[in-house]
Structure 1
């Protein structure tokens, strides 16, 4: 388990910090720090009222809440989003309303989930050719549609 430092911002002083809804949940639910209404097709960067310090070698992924997506068509626009270890600004969640109706967000509503993950450092090595595989250069849908 890693420890992630969290700094509450003035507009998030009384809000809960990210937490798992159940003992075996992968993600930690986070809440909105302000009221707003997302019109159909609209998106917004929703403030959470906190900033974090992620240890080097880790990221925190931002993922949608399945209930919001299924019931209302509201999801995270950049999914999964990544919060880098060197970012120290307020965590904001980019939500989009794909539903047919305006979607109200009330301060304190659970809007997304955070999942810490280890980062595998990598480099790219330029080569003249790549090894052959069964798939080869087949792109989108090349392995079938079902």
Structure 2
């Protein structure tokens, strides 16, 4: 019986996708690799500077300014081409590589990513794992196919006393469990 591990999403088989791997004997994290070349745009591009000046000079922002900011200031999803299977009482925690912020200006904006066991083989994307990234450096960053972009750690989790569970079943992929 398989306990936990990684598989290539069927749509990307034979396309050079690399399965996550640990880099040293005592490494806790499995390094994830980019599925394809990917340009991570700098947040300083577009109208961000204009918005920053408006805020700094205490000018009121218009609804159009807020709409522009929402389109610009958001993370991008870097595809891995990989899915993870695990036991029902386990989670895969996605974390940034320690060198990404310092050397490249790349962060995972929510701190960590959480991949639940029922994300595996979901109907919308077969459970492909994407790593949310934000580029705060002044230049766009080109991530090349096969480049390490993040790491994942399998962990067990505990339930609170009195938790009876929720009978909802995942019906889609990324961000599908609602508000």
Q: Same fold (TM over 0.5)?
A: yes
Cα 1:73–1:4, aligned 2, differ >3 Å: closer, same or farther? Answer: same
Match of 1:84 among 116, 128, 133: 116
2:149 corresponds to which of 111, 132, 136: 111
- State yes or no: 1:122 paired with 2:154: no
Q: Structure 1, residues 41-74: CA drift from partner, whole Å, max 9, x if none?
A: 2631111112122211100000000111110110
Tell me if structure 1 keeps the 8 A contact 2:6–2:20. no
Deviation track 1:81-113 (CA, whole Å, cap 9, x = no partner) reads: 110111121111111101111110111110000
Provide the alpha-carbon RMSD of the alignment.
Answer: 1.9
Aligned residues between the structures:
124
How far 1:12 sits from its partner (Å)?
A: 5.2
Matched, 1:27 2:29: yes
Aligned counterpart in structure 2 of residue 47 of structure 1, from 59, 79, 102: 79
- Normalised to the residue count of structure 2, the TM-score between the two structures is 0.63
**Structure with greater helix share of residues:** 2
When you count strand as a share of all residues, which structure comes out higher? 1
The two structures have a TM-score, normalised by structure 1, of 0.77
> Any unmatched runs of 5+ in structure 1?
126-146
Query: What's the CA shift for 1:124?
Result: 7.5
